[in-house]
Amino acid sequence: MTEARLLACIKGKMPFAAEPRMDSHLFDELGFDSVLLLDLIMALEDEFGCRFDEDHLSIEALSTPGKILELIESAPPADSTE
């Protein structure tokens, strides 16, 4: 369920039609750039009700949907004071 929601969010932000997979590379395969990535991060925070710790955001940590899922699973809720 979470994977499907994540892939739907990514697909909605992609600059061209394709089917993302959990191991697809956002930059090399799916056409993301830094602006699209920031837009995706905000959309994911809204979709999953979380806030990503800026210290954990890196190109490597955001390189594939699988790695992004790990961030989502470890992110505190949006209303958390952590």
CATH number for position 60: 1.10.1200.10
Q: pLDDT per residue over 46-64, tens digit each?
A: 999 999 989 989 999 999 9
CA dist list (Å): 9 to 13, 35, 65, 66, 82? 7, 15, 10, 13, 25
**Does residue 31 lie within any of the structural domains?**
yes
**Does residue 24 lie within any of the structural domains?**
yes
Position 78 scores a pLDDT of 85
**How many structural domains compose the chain?**
1
Determine if the pTM surpasses 0.95: no
Task: Give the integer Cα–Cα distance in Å for 4 and 2.
Answer: 5
CA angle at 51 for the pair 30 and 17, rounded to the nearest 5°: 20
Task: Give the integer Cα–Cα distance in Å for 40 and 43.
Answer: 5
**Does residue 59 lie within any of the structural domains?**
yes
**Does residue 22 lie within any of the structural domains?**
yes
CA angle at 36 for the pair 46 and 18, rounded to the nearest 5°: 95
**Does residue 8 lie within any of the structural domains?**
yes
**Does residue 80 lie within any of the structural domains?**
no
